[in-house]
Structure 1
Amino acid sequence: MKKYYFISPFILQTLIWIPCFVIFRVFTSIRIKGLGNLKGLKRGLIFAPNHTSELDPILVPASLPFFSRFMPMFYTSREKSFYVKSGWRQIIYGGLFFKAWGSYAVRTGKKDYKYALKNHIQIIRDKGSVCIFPEGKRTMDGNLKKARGGIAFLSYRTNVPIVPIAIGGLYNLSLKSFLLRKHKFTLTFGKPIYSQDLMLNNESIHSDFEEAAEKIMEEIARLLGKRA
């Protein structure tokens, strides 16, 4: 991967930052907490939010300061074939726009974290930030789900911290309720979690990474004031 792949996500995410900033503050009551936990952290982080809405990938970078050193944000996604039966969403998801935004598919089929996250490992080594939803998919009932081990492996493999993010208020969001300003959003950045905090080492196996990922979900639950 050449570093020019940073250009498109940086342009798109910078351009959308200002309208998102205005829209979220006009039509919602939004509160962003915990940005102080990012002080002193270097470029190349893993951001780990719970996944409640299709707006999450936009809200996370829009919650960072303009021209933040952690921009652009890169994402994990399913392979393009997964979105074939998703209606109009298949036009955006898994296509050129998705990649231009900074989303790279997790490669499946071999049950091998290193193979699956090859692109994201390289992104972090190039000092890019990766946003990965530990649950692997959006919640359908508003409750936190079991985490998948990939995020813990990514932290271990790259030796960079994970910043847990708790997103509240976006579940069941509709255009009507959004325009009527019925939603209050909260986005809380937690303290960084390091791979050594998750007790990972060279002998860690698949189940160890899954258990470590659950610790991240427990921290997100704590930030939300819930039980994981």
Structure 2
Amino acid sequence: MSDAETQIPKPGAVYYFGRAVLRPLFAVVYGARTSGRENLPATGPVLLVSNHLSGWDTVLIPTAASRPVQFLTKSSLFTRPGVLGRFLGWFFTSIGGVPVLRTAGQAAQAALESGARILRAGSAFAVFPEGTRSRDGRLYKGRSGAGWMALETGAAVVPVGVIGTAEMTPFGMLRGRTRPEVRFGRPLDLSDLTGLPQGAARRIATERMMDAIAALSGQERADVVNGSSQDAGA
């Protein structure tokens, strides 16, 4: 195992304790629901690709999943000064968060490489192909980073549709009537893309991911890239 791989944190006791507490809490307070959990393979590398409506998504997806799920986490959350900064660094490390700079270019590629290392280690890793959350509720075009990770690692690709999280607020209040829900779809078959030019294979894989996400989330499609995203290729 390389030094880079040993630096990838794994979810620890804090993760499992938090999931055990939050899963029933979300069900009681918000009426949160989960469907398709059986579609998530129990072992082996899994890339979950999801729409992104709010910050709650990074909490609900791991809480709803049947196995630990890791996300990339803004590196600034690991390096804040003071007692709060040390606590945040410990917390995000404990839940398996992987620090990353959310910028374009080489830093974005480094983020993809970090995700690929998580997958090569046999873990489950979740990404938002849109790059950032949708502010108008539409599903934007996916960036090719998720397709690259799927084809590079051979991980099973499970689409996820998240519904109603934009209406969630703290303390159990909902701004609308939509109950939050996480829908796990069946793994996508990308085996027919072997042998295609890399660029074409990534584009087709990404399009299939977004089609599957749309079918699960029921969102209106936007035929453009989300302009507020800074995660080029992710």
Aligning the two structures, in what range does the TM-score lie when normalised by the shorter sequence?
0.7 to 0.9
1:2 aligns to what?
Answer: 6
Are the structure 2 counterparts of residues 91 and 217 from structure 1 closer, same or farther at C-alpha, using a change threshold of 3 Å? farther
CA distance in 2, matches of 1:20, 1:192: 26
2:216 aligns to what?
Answer: 223
Task: Tell me which moved more, 159-168 or 98-107.
Answer: 98-107
Which runs of 5 or more structure 1 residues have no equivalent in the other structure? 85-89
2:17 aligns to what?
Answer: 15
1:102 paired with 2:103, answer no
Which amino acid in structure 1 is aligned with residue 50 of structure 2? P
**Would you say the 8 A contact 1:159–1:195 is kept in 2?**
no
1:142-163 Cα deviation digits (max 9, x unpaired): 1111211111100100011210
2:228 aligns to what?
Answer: none
Return the match for 2:33 from 25, 31, 34.
31
1:10-31 Cα deviation digits (max 9, x unpaired): 3222011122122211112222
Which amino acid in structure 2 is aligned with residue 48 of structure 1? V
**Would you say the 8 A contact 1:200–1:209 is kept in 2?**
no
1:101-143 Cα deviation digits (max 9, x unpaired): 3232267554697644222212111111111111111111111
Alignment of structure 1 residues 1-228 onto 2, 5 Å: 1-2=5-6, 5-6=9-10, 9-38=11-40, 42-65=43-66, 70-71=67-68, 73-80=69-76, 95=89, 97-104=91-98, 105=100, 109-110=104-105, 115-175=110-170, 178=173, 182-197=177-192, 199=193, 201=195, 203-205=197-199, 208-228=201-221
CA distance in 2, matches of 1:195, 1:130: 18
Which amino acid in structure 1 is aligned with residue 70 of structure 2? F
Task: Give me the identity figure in percent.
Answer: 24
1:153-190 Cα deviation digits (max 9, x unpaired): 00100011210000101113223662799541221110
Q: Secondary structure at the match of 1:188?
A: strand
**Would you say the 8 A contact 2:169–2:175 is kept in 1?**
no
CA distance in 2, matches of 1:227, 1:55: 20
**Would you say the 8 A contact 1:24–1:30 is kept in 2?**
yes
**Would you say the 8 A contact 2:119–2:153 is kept in 1?**
yes
Task: Tell me which moved more, 217-226 or 181-190.
Answer: 181-190
- Over the aligned positions, Cα root-mean-square deviation in angstroms equals 3.3
Which amino acid in structure 2 is aligned with residue 203 of structure 1? P
Which amino acid in structure 1 is aligned with residue 40 of structure 2? L
Are the structure 2 counterparts of residues 175 and 3 from structure 1 closer, same or farther at C-alpha, using a change threshold of 3 Å? closer
TM-score (norm 2): 0.75
CA distance in 2, matches of 1:200, 1:78: 33
